[in-house]
Structure 1
Amino acid sequence: MTSQPPQRPEVVVRQADRPGDLGWTVMAHGEIYHRQFEWDASFEALVAQIVADYATDHDPAREGAWIAEVDGERVGCVLCVAGDEPAVAKLRILLVAPTARGLGVGSRLVERCVTFARDAGYRQITLWTNDVLASARRIYEGAGFVLTDEEPHHSFGHDLVGQNWTLDLSVTTTATGN
């Protein structure tokens, strides 16, 4: 009797337009970052503000939010919002739940965000992250983002190093990963 290899779980990236999607985004960030890095509730408050700003006043032609699901369960999210300059978008609050890491979820979310930004007419997309988020940095590098600067800061109850990354959307890049 031959056994079949286990099937890879189905990953779906969809718009974050269902009841509970935005609330899940805030809750998952708070819980996961507390468990992994012992970040305090000020981080969850930051995510809540970003999500609230998006929810109450976004332009669907220029801003979007996506949820990744594995076998019908939410496991990741990302937002693309307008930056401070008209030609610049921001990738915000990328998250992949620990149970879904290694399935290409993060790369797919970033790819969806970058494609949306390019299609919306942005020339550049930026993001801010922290150096302790090594897996996310590898995803950003794989998508073609370049580290532009770093600065130490004290946030979320810890001394961290913030990083700004930029992707020039006029250059065609190929994201690595699944």
Structure 2
Amino acid sequence: MIRIPARPDPDAAAPLELRAPQPGDLGWIVERHGATYAAELGLDQRFEALVARICADFVDRFQPGREACWIAARGAERLGSVMLVQARDEATDAPRPGVAKLRLLLLEPHARGLGLGKRLVRQCSDFARQAGYERIVLWTQSGLTSARAIYAAEGYRLVHSAPGHGFGIDVVNETWELALR
């Protein structure tokens, strides 16, 4: 057997950065959420479809200075993502004044433990304060213990929890909130 030596990764020495999305990044967010959560939690394609709708809404409703998306990257390698958007009433779709919503926090499995999740969540908090929001809300599931720990460390508090069935599995849905003032 002939072994071909591995080429060094040119991005290995590059600094970790949080950057604005570039072409292809939103598609990456959809793909990685679908693949990662299917592998780790058993979520079905309905979850990937939800992520696609969230990304489409981000583009369609984008308000510069009030909404943002960040990609955690090392060189050309994408390692994670998060969005902060105007929160909307679920029944009417009307904007909720003073309320932002954290969406789509994700870290590649090999990028966990580098502090990127904390940086992404803190970036949302800092941006929301500068944009004049009074609070941030988010939806998660109880099984995402690492993400929940990041939210708690940032000062979020659990405000609602309810069992449900979604995306092909039984879940405990949670709403968390961070007061900014």
- The TM-score, its normalising length taken from structure 2, stands at 0.87
Q: Provide the aligned C-alpha RMSD in A.
A: 1.3
Q: Secondary structure at the match of 1:83?
A: strand
User: Is 2:121 the counterpart of 1:110?
Assistant: yes
Identity of aligned residues (%): 48
1:49 aligns to what?
53
Question: What is the deviation of 1:9?
Answer: 6.8
In structure 2, runs of 5+ residues without a counterpart are 1-11, 89-95
The counterpart of 2:134, out of the listed 123, 142, 152, is: 123
In structure 1, runs of 5+ residues without a counterpart are 1-6, 171-178
The counterpart of 2:15, out of the listed 10, 17, 38, is: 10
**Take 1:8 and 1:157, find their aligned partners in 2: how far apart are those partners?**
40
1:44-80 deviation line (CA, Å, top 9, x unaligned) = 0010000000012210121100100134310100000
1:117-153 deviation line (CA, Å, top 9, x unaligned) = 1100000000000000000000001110000010111
Aligned length: 163
1:163 aligns to what?
174
**Take 2:18 and 2:87, find their aligned partners in 1: how far apart are those partners?**
23
Letter in 2 for 1:89: A
- The TM-score, its normalising length taken from structure 1, stands at 0.88
1:79-101 deviation line (CA, Å, top 9, x unaligned) = 00001311000000100010100
User: Is 2:24 the counterpart of 1:20?
Assistant: yes
